[in-house]
């Protein structure tokens, strides 16, 4: 990866240090005028001259050995990560000067998270040799989901005592997406949901006659032994430890429909508990879809993003769950409180899939969904089914 020059280089003058220099000069002149009468005044003149000389030399070193000759190797980061988990930003600064080092360099990474500025702590290095390279890295934990941007790298160089400092800025503009936090659910989650009428849907994972053969892959625990492709398995290098199984895609109705409650009215917008439950339910919805997809269930995820409906069919966890998480990363509550009820009724009429409704409230208002035979997972149930959060 090539190095890029700074987008801007400037010199910032510290007013206080300039005032100190002027005051030292005035004191030196005043003491010099009375040095003939008071011999000790010569000591004061020497001290002021020495201080002014240090300030001047430090300023000259800052100008000569500053940050103007530095080059940046842009960081290589992934386009997405999960909230509450760390992601690492690492890049290199190279000194393009042939003879002079860069001295007393401080580097700061500027990040924008959902429109708010997040300034990382500065990393300091005393010296970058001529034609040398220094590496800088930050471990950043995203507290919330949403859009993040690595806006710029700000580098400052100032020799101690300098009147000013050199500042150079490297603009990045790298956009990242913080996906919802990863929840690991309790092993009894499926049993609990099954006991609460999940058995109404088609819960078998055995390929049906109408399934379409789409290819082969390596055998994974939980696959139907009848789907093992024996001729290809016999050719595998580690047979019988390595097996090959047929893979099917089912064009029939989905097994489970996961409906997420995103309804928060205008009167509830300032309710911190409801907003907190909303954020938690997003991660829980992703965890439910992941758990069901890993167990070979065909899952349809439905929700309302403000006024736009979301309808994603999850047939393969490695292919479709990333799409679900990406939508959940930017989803916003809808003010239309009846939109979610209409969505539930629509799903109840559309197919015979088992409906899992992830609610925001533990109040009797959820009883209206019982006529749809939906399994309502209230916030209390969500908290009891989450085993731990990855990254915490």
Residue-wise pLDDT tens digits, 71-84: 999 887 767 888 98
Q: How far is it, in rounded angstroms, from Cα 331 to Cα 323? A: 12
* Higher local confidence (pLDDT), 342 or 168: 168
Rounded distance, CA 153 to CA 170, Å?
5
Predicted confidence at residue 251, as pLDDT, reads 45
pLDDT(316) > 90: no
Across the range 82-94, mean pLDDT stands at 89
Residue 220 pLDDT grade (very low, low, confident, very high; cuts 50, 70, 90): confident
Mean pLDDT of all residues in 191-212: 49
The yes-or-no verdict on residue 248 having pLDDT over 70 is no
Peptide bond into 240 cis (omega under 30): yes
**Mean pLDDT within 164-182:** 91
pLDDT at 125: 93
Task: Give the per-residue pLDDT at 205.
Answer: 39
pLDDT at residue 358 tops 70? yes
Using left for φ > 0, alpha for ψ between -120 and 50, and beta otherwise, residue 306 falls in left
Taking Cα atoms as reference points, which of 254, 359, 325, 241 lies closest to residue 296?
254
pLDDT recorded at residue 241: 76
* Residues 50-71, mean pLDDT to the nearest whole number: 89
Confidence grade of residue 209 (pLDDT, cut at 50, 70, 90):
very low
Residues contacting residue 361 through CB under 8 Å, at least 6 positions apart: 261, 274, 277, 378, 379
**What is the pLDDT at residue 199?**
41
143 compared with 104, residue with greater pLDDT:
104
Q: How buried is residue 340: exposed, middle or buried, by Cβ count under 10 Å (0-12/13-18/19+)?
A: buried
Predicted confidence (pLDDT) at residue 159 exceeds the cutoff of 70:
yes
d(CA 386, CA 336): 29
Q: What is the pLDDT of residue 43?
A: 81
Residue 351: pLDDT band (50, 70, 90) is low
Greatest mean pLDDT among 41-45, 89-93, 242-246, 247-251:
89-93
More reliable by pLDDT, 5 or 227: 5
**For residue 197, is pLDDT > 70?**
no
Q: Which residue has the higher pLDDT, 63 or 20?
A: 63
Helix, strand, coil tally for the chain in percent (to 5): 35, 35, 30
Task: Tell me the range of 248-252, 277-281, 357-361 where mean pLDDT is highest.
Answer: 277-281
Q: How confident is the model at residue 217 (pLDDT cuts 50, 70, 90)?
A: confident
Residue 260's pLDDT is what?
93
Which of the two residues, 168 and 120, has the higher pLDDT score? 168
* Neighbouring residues of 231: CB distance < 8 A, sequence distance ≥ 6: none
Give the pLDDT of residue 202. 41
Least confident of 106-120, 156-170, 221-235, 307-321: 221-235
| pLDDT the model gives residue 277 | 93
The pLDDT value recorded for residue 301 is 94
Whether residue 368 is predicted with pLDDT greater than 70 in this model: the reply is no
- What's the confidence (pLDDT) of residue 157? 94
Task: Name beta bridge partners: 206.
Answer: none
User: What is the average per-residue pLDDT within 188-215?
Assistant: 54
- pLDDT at residue 204, rounded to an integer: 40
pLDDT of residue 299 exceeding 70: yes
């Amino acid at each position: 990866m090539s190095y890029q020059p700074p987008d801007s280089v400037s010199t910032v003058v510290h007013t206080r240090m300039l005032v100190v220099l002027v005051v030292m000069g005035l004191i030196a002149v005043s003491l010099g005028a009375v040095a003939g009468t008071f011999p000790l005044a010569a000591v004061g003149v020497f001290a002021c001259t020495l201080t002014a000389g240090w300030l001047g030399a430090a300023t000259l070193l800052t100008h000569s050995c500053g940050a103007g000759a530095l080059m940046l190797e842009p960081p290589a980061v992934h386009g997405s990560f999960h909230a509450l988990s760390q992601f690492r930003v690492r890049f290199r600064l190279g000194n393009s000067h042939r003879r002079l080092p860069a001295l007393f360099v401080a580097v700061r990474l500027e990040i924008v998270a959902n429109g708010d500025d997040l300034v990382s702590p500065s990393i300091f290095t005393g010296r970058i040799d001529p034609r040398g390279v220094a590496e800088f890295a930050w471990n950043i934990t995203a507290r919330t989901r949403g859009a993040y941007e690595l806006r710029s790298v700000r580098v400052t160089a100032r020799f101690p005592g300098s009147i000013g400092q050199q500042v150079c800025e490297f603009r990045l503009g790298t956009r990242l997406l913080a996906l919802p936090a990863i929840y690991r659910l309790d092993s009894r989650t499926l049993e609990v949901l099954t006991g609460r009428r999940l058995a109404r849907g088609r819960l078998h994972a055995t390929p049906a006659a109408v399934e379409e053969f789409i290819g082969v892959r390596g055998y994974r625990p939980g696959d139907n032994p009848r789907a093992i492709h024996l001729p290809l398995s016999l050719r595998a290098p580690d047979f019988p430890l390595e097996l090959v199984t047929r893979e099917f895609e089912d064009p029939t109705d989905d097994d489970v429909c996961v409906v997420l409650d995103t309804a928060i009215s205008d009167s509830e917008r300032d309710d911190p508990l409801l907003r907190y439950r909303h954020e938690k339910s997003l991660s829980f919805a992703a965890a439910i879809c992941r758990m069901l997809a890993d167990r070979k269930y065909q899952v349809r995820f439905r929700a309302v993003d403000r006024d736009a409906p979301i309808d994603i069919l999850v047939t393969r966890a490695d292919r479709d769950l990333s799409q679900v998480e990406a939508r959940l990363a930017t989803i916003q509550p809808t003010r239309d409180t009846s939109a979610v009820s209409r969505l539930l009724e629509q799903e109840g009429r559309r197919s015979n899939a088992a409906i899992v409704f992830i609610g925001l409230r533990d109040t009797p208002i959820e009883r209206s969904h019982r006529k749809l035979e939906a399994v309502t997972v209230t916030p209390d149930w969500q908290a009891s089914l989450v085993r731990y959060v990855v990254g915490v």
